[in-house]
C-alpha cells in the first residue's frame, strides 16, 4: 500500500492484485473440479494425479497466454493514443491547450484559472499532461503484458498446487470429499484476503468465490459420475 500526502491508497495494487487473484482462483477451482470429476468417474489415484498435473500445466500456460494477449492489446491501444497525442501537439498546440483547459473546467476550475493551469502544465510536460488528464493513462495503471502474464501463470500454478497436494495425501476413498472441502476453504481464504487487500468486505469476497467454486465442483462431480457409470 502506497502512502501519498499522508493518505493510504490501494490503486497501486489494481494490476497485480487482479492478475494474482484471478490466477489463483482459477487454479484452485479448475484443478479441484478436474480432480473431483475424474475421481468421481472411478479413475485410479495415478490417473487423477496425471489429469491434475496436466490441468495445472495447461491452465498456467493458458492463463499466461490469455493475459499477455489481453494486456498487450491494451498496451498497443495506449501506445497508439500516445502517438496520436504527440502528433496533435506538433500540429495544433493551441487546440491542445484549449482541450486541456476544457478538461480542467469540467473538473471545476474557473475558465481563466483552467487556461493558466493548462499553460503551466503544457510548459512543464505537454505530452505527460495530455496522457494523464485526457487519456487517463498513468505509470501506475499502465498495461504491462509480461508482468501480467507471469503473475497469472504463477498464481494459477500456486492455486492449482493446493488441491493437487491434498489429492496426493488423501486416502482414495476420501479423495473427493477431502479435495472439495479443502478447496472451498482455500477459496474462501483467498477471497477474503483479496477483499481485505482491496478494501472491500471480507465476508462478501469469501462467500462469492466459495459459492462459484462449490458450483463448479458439483457440476464436474456429477458429470464424472455420469460418464463413469456409462463407460463402466
Residue 34 in any domain: the answer is yes
Residue 5 in any domain: the answer is no
| pLDDT for 204 beyond 70 | yes
202 neighbors 188 (Cβ within 8 angstroms): no
Mean predicted confidence (pLDDT) in 14-38 = 81
Q: Is 44 left (phi over 0), alpha (psi -120 to 50) or beta?
A: beta
The predicted pLDDT at position 68 comes to 84
Angstrom distance (rounded) from CA 110 to CA 29? 53
Residue 86 in any domain: the answer is yes
pLDDT digits (tens, 9 = 90+) for 43-102: 888 999 999 999 999 999 998 888 888 877 877 777 777 778 778 777 777 877 887 788
Residue 6 in any domain: the answer is no
The predicted pLDDT at position 224 comes to 86
| pLDDT for 165 beyond 90 | yes
Range(s) of the domain holding residue 172: 14-231
Q: With the C-alpha atoms ordered 203, 204, 209, 212, is the resulting torsion angle positive or negative?
A: positive
Torsions phi, psi of 2, nearest 5?
-95, 140
Whole-prediction pTM? 0.68
112 band by pLDDT with thresholds 50, 70 and 90: confident
Structural domain count of the chain: 1
Amino acid at each position: 500500500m502506497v502512502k501519498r500526502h499522508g493518505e493510504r491508497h490501494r490503486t497501486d495494487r489494481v494490476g497485480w492484485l487482479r492478475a494474482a487473484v484471478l490466477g489463483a482462483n482459477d487454479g484452485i477451482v479448475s484443478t479441484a473440479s478436474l480432480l473431483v470429476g475424474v475421481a468421481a468417474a472411478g479413475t485410479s489415484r495415478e490417473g487423477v494425479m496425471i489429469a491434475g498435473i496436466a490441468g495445472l500445466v495447461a491452465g498456467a500456460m493458458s492463463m499466461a497466454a490469455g493475459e499477455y494477449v489481453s494486456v498487450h492489446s491494451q498496451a498497443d491501444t495506449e501506445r497508439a493514443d500516445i502517438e496520436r497525442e504527440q502528433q496533435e501537439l506538433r500540429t495544433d498546440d493551441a487546440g491542445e491547450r484549449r482541450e486541456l483547459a476544457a478538461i480542467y473546467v469540467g473538473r471545476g476550475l474557473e475558465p481563466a484559472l483552467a487556461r493558466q493551469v493548462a499553460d503551466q502544465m503544457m510548459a512543464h510536460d505537454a505530452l505527460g499532461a495530455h496522457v494523464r488528464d485526457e487519456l487517463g493513462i498513468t505509470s501506475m495503471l499502465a498495461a504491462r503484458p509480461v508482468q501480467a502474464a507471469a503473475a497469472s501463470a504463477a498464481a494459477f500454478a500456486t492455486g492449482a498446487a493446493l488441491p493437487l497436494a491434498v489429492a496426493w495425501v488423501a486416502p482414495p476413498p476420501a479423495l473427493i470429499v477431502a479435495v472439495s472441502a479443502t478447496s472451498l476453504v482455500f477459496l474462501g481464504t483467498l477471497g477474503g484476503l483479496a477483499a481485505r487487500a482491496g478494501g472491500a468486505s471480507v465476508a462478501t469476497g469469501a462467500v462469492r468465490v466459495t459459492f462459484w467454486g462449490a458450483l463448479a465442483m458439483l457440476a464436474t462431480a456429477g458429470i464424472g459420475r455420469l460418464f463413469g457409470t456409462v463407460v463402466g
